[in-house]
Chain A
Amino acid sequence: MHDMTQEDLAQKIGVTRQTILAIEKGKYVPSLDLAFRIARHFDVNIEEVFTYEKEGRTIEID
């Protein structure tokens, strides 16, 4: 959907590429602030990027 690399996204929202990767892999749960920044970057609601699960959280960035 968005033709963007992890490095691009990381630079845009001011984190490292490893952080984006860790979020995608479910290794790291981002703060609310970072979650909103990611969602705003894609101009979507936060629920469209993150889904809450009881045993952790998943992120779906296309």
Chain B
Amino acid sequence: MKKNIFYLLSGCIALALLAIFWYSVEINKPLLIEISFILGIVIIYIARRNVTDLIEDERSAKITEKAALRTFQVFWVVFCAFSISAVMQILHVPSFPRNRTFEHIPNSPPAILEIMPPRMMGYIQLGLLCLMIFLYVEFRLYYARKYGDWETDEE
């Protein structure tokens, strides 16, 4: 398979997944998009293995590895820092006596659940996951530049 056909196929799969996503929202069946997403990624992985004119040498492998590692290093800290508040909700910290005792006092700190309902936390976590993709792209561009991807010569 040629490289361009692979990119075309990936684009088609992305569009199909977007359509399935909206359809699964419409019929309220999250399992549909979950299975479709996994299948789509598996197809992309299989197709990529069959690309003949895509050379991946040690330099490109190093760029990928470095970008992935740095993304992970940044992402897990941000994600875990945010998820701590989710853990607090699980542990029912807002229902500790402090809140009940002082809730009648004006200007007392609001309960965490009021500030950040569980649904909002889910949205933020989803947003962080999307941010991870952009973070990876940024790191990839940085390391590609560092390891001479856009170097030119006199040839």
Q: Which residues of A contact B (CB under 8 A)?
A: 5-6, 14-16, 18-19, 21-22, 24-25, 27-28, 30-31, 33-34
Contacts and interface: CB of A to CB of B under 8 A. Distances in A.
Contacts of B151: 18, 21-22, 25, 27
Chain B contact surface mostly: loop
Interface of B: 55, 57-60, 62, 146-149, 151-153, 155
A3 to B, nearest CB: 13
A19 B59 contact: yes
A18 B153 CA distance: 10
A15 B155 contact: no
A22 B153 contact: no
Contacts of A33: 58
B58 A18 contact: no
A24 B153 CA distance: 10
Nearest to B153: A21
Given A14-B55, A18-B151, A25-B148, 5 more contacts: A15-B58, A16-B57, A21-B152, A21-B153, A27-B151
B57 A14 contact: yes
Contacts of B153: 6, 21, 24-25
